[in-house]
A and B are shown apart, each in its own frame.
Chain A
Amino acid sequence: MSGLRPQVRALVFSAVRATPSASRREVGRRNAARLGLAALVALAEFFALGGSVYGARSVGLTLFSAAGWGLVALAITRLSLVRGPSMLGRPTRALLTMAVACAPIVFCWAAATAGAQGASADWGLHARCLGATILLSAPPFVAFLYARRHSDPVHPAALGAALGAASGAWGGALIDLHCPVTHVAHLGAAHVMPIALFALAGAALGKRVLSLR
């Protein structure tokens, strides 16, 4: 059997010397800075939109509802962004389950914590709120993709979908604080649907952006 040629070692070491790479500490610092910046941009957008608006819901119920959204977003972010004990990340099935289950879970939560059903909004308000949710979800989406770019050798599309769902859930948590409309049709169309949109976008971008190539 022919073994590994010594020339390969020389070539690899030469390429390694010529190619800079960041240590774990540097990567951690950069990712923390990116995630912090994304949080600041999302919060700036949130306050630019007008901040918290409570409407018919009590302050306590609104905060409770947003906390539920945030908890789901945090869990999916933690499970998809952090690989866990294996360098190969979470199993494909777990990532896909998170991506698919996120929207129904938060929709049920939002409907349960909506309080008294107000009048359904018109299409203009649906569209405006949908746009705001997408705007609020975009910074974490970009930061998550950047933090994990070119790092997944096994299932980049599934990882992208899970990260997209997490981004949509973060945007939903902020819009839940901002939007006073609690009709389920509005919640589904304007608050929850971006989760599915970002999950699809993440799946589409995953192979190109997240794949370790």
Chain B
Amino acid sequence: MIAARTFHFDMHASFRAVTQSAADVAMDRYANGDAGAFGAVYDAVAPRLHAYLRARSGSDAIADDVVQQTMLRIHTARGSFQQGAQVMPWAYAIARRLLVDRSRRHRREVLTLDGESPAEGASSADLPADDAVHAAQLERRLDVELARLPEAQRAAFELVKREGLSMAEAAAVLGTTATAVKLRAHRAYVSLRAALGSAFGAEGADR
């Protein structure tokens, strides 16, 4: 299962690498004053931000709210967008900052897992029924275990493994070094593997 998840992450990373350039081009046009390009920026950026924010907050309502705020910040700051820059690390950084600010204001609302069902991975869609159920269960357990990790490790793991950012991009988003991100993501991976050992072990035995 860990192999399936890794493949899923890699597939998403590749897909995102393709769409990323489209988002950057659209953002570049928008920064140059092409108002119509905002739709393309929104379509490329907002769903990914939403998935990231939902995984971080565990709440659709919070994710919706922060996506709105982030897209509005991108709009108001469009004139500062550097030619040739990437929009996604910037968007993640803004969203992350807004979520942190929000969590400080509403500490009890954010970073809890109760209330809504955890996110299900898209990876289960193409799997056989038994595997899909197992994947969904594992995804839920993964979310629970992720929530137990220290914030720094969880943020690094999510940006690198879930969102497909490079170490350097994740480091820039988190305001730290690539080495620190690598270390945090690795520690998160080790912790998750230990916590989910039985599920991984069963998968390993299947292979």
Contact = CB atoms under 8 A, between A and B. Distances in A.
Contacts of B81: 24, 87
Contact of B64 (A8, A15, A25, A85): A8
Chain A to chain B: the 4 pairs with minimum beta-carbon distance, closest first? A27-B79, A87-B90, A23-B33, A88-B172
B85 A86 contact: yes
Contacts of B175: 92, 154-155
A2 B67 CA distance: 14
Interface string A3-19: 11100110111011001
Nearest to A211: B97
Most buried by B among A2, A5, A22: A2
Contacts of A1: 51, 54, 119-122
19 contacts: A1-B120, A4-B63, A4-B64, A5-B64, A8-B46, A13-B42, A16-B71, A19-B76, A21-B76, A22-B79, A23-B78, A24-B80, A87-B82, A87-B86, A88-B93, A151-B80, A154-B97, A213-B73, A213-B97
Chain B interface, DSSP helix/strand/loop, else mixed:
helix
A153 B79 contact: no
Given A3-B47, A21-B79, 5 more contacts: A15-B68, A16-B71, A83-B85, A154-B97, A211-B97
B89 interface: yes
A212 B87 CA distance: 15
Interface string B139-150: 000000000000
Nearest to B175: A154
Interface of A: 1-5, 8-9, 11-13, 15-16, 19, 21-28, 83-88, 91-93, 150-151, 153-155, 211-213
